[in-house]
Amino acid sequence: MTQLPILYSFRRCPYAMRARMAVAVSGTRVELREVVLRDKPPEMLEASPKGTVPVLIQPNGIVLDQSIDIMRWALAQSDPEGWLGYEGLDLVDANDGPFKHALDRYKYPHRYGLIDGREHRDVALSYLLQWNVRLGATPFLGGVNPAFADIALFPFVRQFAASDADWFAAQPLQALQIWLAALTDSTLFAKIMVRYPQWKTGDPPTIFS
């Protein structure tokens, strides 16, 4: 056991991505435990019975199991790039609410009894068009540099774009497409997307910062 905070994560989960990006930019050291969602470790379920990632267990036993809370926790330790200078809670609420609702039904229509997801694709696109207008004025939602809102939205926009890359590329979203490419190609994103093996009880700790 380490005395570091423990972060349960899953590489491809967009919620876990944004949490890892905040931890990484802050330089905070955590013990990373990579989870396979079909084989969740009992230690994670004991800490957070809802069974979703990310989950952060602090050395004092306090558990955070919402990605936004983990982002804020990490940046409270250190915020060298000033991400908390623009949280953009209106944008985060739109992303985590109606945009995510539409994204799920666009990407996985048959899970919801739908023939296809085009109607929900168009709903999600309406939000992207709004964000594209904002990004036409500044490279990032918070200004000239990435901020909290950019990182909170980015993994979900990336997931939407990847659902039909050719269709996405043809949409009138030039500013948002440039924004997405900048974050996807960033050193920070490459760092948090390193592959780790599934964590099992008794494994030596993997230190992530």
Give the pLDDT confidence of 175-197 residue by residue, as tens digits.
999 999 999 999 999 999 999 99
Looking at 86-205, list the stretches that DSSP marks H as alpha helix, in order from N- to C-terminal side: 89-94, 100-107, 118-135, 148-163, 165-169, 174-184, 187-192
**Token output for 18:** 């944004």
Return the pLDDT at 142.
87
Reported as a pLDDT band with limits 50, 70 and 90, residue 2 is low
Average pLDDT, the chain: 97
pLDDT digits (tens, 9 = 90+) for 16-41: 999 999 999 999 999 999 999 999 99
Reported as a pLDDT band with limits 50, 70 and 90, residue 166 is very high
Return the pLDDT at 154.
98
Element (H, E) at 7: strand 6-9
**Token output for 76:** 């409270």
Q: Is the pLDDT of residue 171 over 70?
A: yes
**Token output for 101:** 């609702």
Reported as a pLDDT band with limits 50, 70 and 90, residue 1 is very low
pLDDT digits (tens, 9 = 90+) for 49-105: 999 999 999 999 999 999 999 999 999 999 999 999 999 999 999 999 999 999 999
Q: What is the mean pLDDT of residues 114-142?
A: 97
Domains and CATH numbers, the chain: 6-81+190-208 (3.40.30.10), 83-189 (1.20.1050.10)
Query: Before 54, cis peptide (omega within 30)?
Result: yes
**pTM of the predicted protein model:** 0.95
